[in-house]
Structure 1
């Protein structure tokens, strides 16, 4: 992964680090950075080996590109789900415009009255 950093930028960052850290402490910081990179590589290799052990040989058969969430367009998923078994989108839209369905009469919603004597129900598992 390049991250948009060119060689000149890396060189400039290194030069600024040398000026800020100083030549006396620079070898210690470089050694500590190398250890950090080495430890990160070891952790990555250990993680890969543990995943291979736990998932077994079928991990090589998984198509990881198919599981990449960046490939999914939510609009396409919804469109496919809505028009999968029904008519084509143009036909469904024209049918909806041609034949408006009458709205069902709404009944008022009954809301229970609660007071200090009749408290609302309390669900212990929900809280």
Structure 2
């Protein structure tokens, strides 16, 4: 710190105590303690405000430590996780009066390559959208 070692700092503090004198030394020490307290409060308030503004209150910093990065564990955890169960939002029921040709039927007739080419007109407003399992 400023090129001053421990012995020189001790001598400077002793000289300052002698110059200030025993009458004013307690008042100066109390004033210095107040300044340190205010500086610490300002630093803490600033840190709290920055954390609140950035939204980092709920970040698990230990989990983001690069020393804990292990690609083998990440791959193992990803492979062992069970995928969430797929549940259809609404059971597929055929609409009355319309039939959906299958991909094999459309290809066999040579009409078109799309599985939905045989449907006449746009789908009804309340009908579920066509969904292809193999496309996604």
Could you say which TM-score interval applies, normalised by the shorter chain?
A: 0.3 to 0.5
Instruction: Using structure 1 for the length normalisation, give the TM-score.
Output: 0.41
TM-score by length of 2: 0.39
The structure whose Rg is larger is 2
